[in-house]
Amino acid sequence: MSNQNPPHRGAFTRFLDTVEWLGNLLPHPVTLFAVLATAMVFLSGLFGAMGLSVADPRPGNEGVMIEAVSLMNAEGVRMILGNLVDNFVNFAPLGVVLVAMLGVGVAEKSGLLSALVRGIVLNAPRHVVTVAIVFAGAISNTASEMGYVVLVPLAGAIFLALGRHPLAGMAAAFAGVSGGYSANLLIGTVDPLLAGITQEAARLIDPTYSVYATANWYFMIVSTFLVTAIGALVTIYVVEPKLGEYDPSNADPSILDDRAMEPLSASEKKGLSRAGLAALGVFGLIAFLAVPETGVLREPGTGSPKPFFSSIVAWIFIFFLTTGFAYGKTVGTMRNDRDMIDGMASAIATLSLYVTLVFFAAQFVAFFGWSNLGVITAVLGADFLQNIGLTGPIVFVFFILMCAGVNLMLGSASAQWAVTAPIFVPMLMLIGYAPELIQAAYRIGDSTTNIITPMMSYFGLILAWAARYNKQFGIGTLMATMLPYSMFFLLTWMGLFYLWVFVLGMPVGPGAPTYYNLG
């Protein structure tokens, strides 16, 4: 990156420079995942030959051993070659990104996103914009992957329009979306998922114990404002000064809009109005299908909104397709179906690097899963912490740090919790802590390191977005940019946890106890 460094660079900034330098010594992300996938095959053969195994801690698997599986044999070769395509096409983030970007491409090609950005930021105070972006990132988790697919690139465009470094805007959004993964004002799709795992683990001690999706709601609400404040402050006082002045010489010319700061024309304002009406129409349709207990997007019998949450990506596609075409038809940039198709095609073309990276990343993740080395690593780390035998509130410091560390290897919140919950929920219940509290602590560790691990599913997508503004942007640069968020989130969020629970005595959710009575 070609930056103009400020005259005085403190010790922390020099530390981040070192992290960036070391990280950028790594090969290209595509090459890195190819090397990791190859290394995983050899490691699986080594540990398989050694007979590495651990006891499966998950409910219903008592007495079952998790053994390292070698891929360096005839069976392994058949698995690798026979599933190469399936690993790629079934990699969950790939389909989500491609489908959503079909709609976003229409909105971008029509000029809707550009006009919307200019309409929002022309007179907005710069620090208010930063706060709004981080806050929007945190609450976007209710809408599944929308934050990664829509908000992160939009934040870069907003900062660029304000004359600020676009990568700082993307970092602020990424921090809100992924660093604040468990912070939200509303109950999201991850809440019932984690609650179900926690309940099963708790029933190893108490067969009648129930954990509800709202178990951490109070703490997650207050955490949203903490993440927003810390994310905005880190962006303004750490990340932007480190990035310095933006140099567009290494940028993709297609993302540099010379009209970015021009006032909206009369036709553009009319187009935005019609896009707004189209958006209201989409929201009205969603309400008709999802709000009534008997709605199409409710589960028959139970009335659960799970079908709606499962269809979020489809609604992102429909929303941007509809509003983009309404805007484009008004201003003349979208005349027919061919223009819409061109917009979709151009959006997919911008993801060529991401698609290439996903192919190799999907192989590595698959090999890691087949070999059982990821699960074994998590279980061994959890057993080590369990054997320390700590009691009292201080145990949560080590527990949160352990979760943050394991998250660097197992990027899925549910996968990590499915392995560690059966160990730590019963263990901490036996020393008097409630499962709801244990789950809240886990979510802190899980969220805070999402933004610095390449194992996180959308890490490659963020790299692809950033490369549009700087072709030399690498893994080390992204890690160094996001590390301050991770550090400050972890420290302040743990502080809030102890203040909220052990000083103020507040529950983490409705009806959620802090302590578990063994009697």
Region at 24 (left for phi over 0; alpha for psi -120 to 50; beta for the rest): alpha
CA neighbor of 434 nearest in space, from 325, 515, 321: 515
Amino acid 396: pLDDT = 92
Give the angle subtended at the CA of 50 by the CAs of 49 and 53, to the nearest 5°.
110
CA diameter of the chain: 72
Residue 42 resides in a domain: yes
Residue located via tokens 């219903």: 60
Q: 56, 380 in Cβ contact below 8 A?
A: no
Residue 516 resides in a domain: no
Three-state DSSP class for residue 519? coil
Instruction: State which residues form the domain around 333.
Output: 11-503
Q: 228, 179 in Cβ contact below 8 A?
A: no
Please, which residues have CB within 8 angstroms of residue 157's CB and are 6 or more apart in sequence? 113, 114, 117, 166, 169, 255, 257
Residue 518 resides in a domain: no
Residue 19 resides in a domain: yes
Q: 58, 419 in Cβ contact below 8 A?
A: yes
Residue located via tokens 């160094």: 480
Q: 505, 213 in Cβ contact below 8 A?
A: no
Torsions phi, psi of 391, nearest 5? -130, 165
Three-state DSSP class for residue 55? strand
Residue 512 resides in a domain: no
The single-letter code of the amino acid at 141 is N
pLDDT in tens, 344-362: 998 888 778 778 878 887 8
Q: 179, 227 in Cβ contact below 8 A?
A: yes
Got the DSSP string for 424-449? HHHHHHHTTB-HHHHHHHHHHHHHHT
Residue 222 resides in a domain: yes
> Based on the structure, what is the number of domains in the chain?
1
How far is residue 57's CA from residue 107's CA, in Å, rounded to a whole number?
Answer: 48
Q: Which residues pair with 65 in a beta bridge?
A: 55
Q: Does the model's pTM come out above 0.85?
A: no
Q: 465, 153 in Cβ contact below 8 A?
A: yes
The single-letter code of the amino acid at 335 is R
Residue 90 resides in a domain: yes
Could you tell me where the DSSP H helices lie in 111-186?
112-121, 126-139, 146, 152-161, 166-174
Residue 5 resides in a domain: no
Spell out the per-residue pLDDT of the chain, length 519, in tens.
Answer: 444 444 455 665 666 566 656 656 667 668 877 888 899 899 999 999 999 998 876 666 777 888 999 999 999 999 999 999 998 988 766 777 788 788 888 888 888 877 776 676 556 676 688 988 888 888 776 555 566 777 788 888 888 878 888 899 999 989 998 877 778 887 765 777 788 888 878 887 788 888 887 889 899 999 999 999 999 999 999 999 888 888 887 777 766 654 445 677 889 899 999 999 999 999 999 999 988 888 898 888 777 777 887 787 788 889 889 999 999 999 999 988 899 999 899 888 877 877 887 888 788 878 877 888 867 776 776 677 667 766 678 889 988 998 888 777 665 566 677 767 877 887 788 777 899 999 999 999 988 888 887 767 677 778 888 888 887 777 778 888 899 999 999 999 999 999 999 999 999 988 889 988 865
- Helices 126-139, 217-234: crossing angle, 10 deg rounding: 150
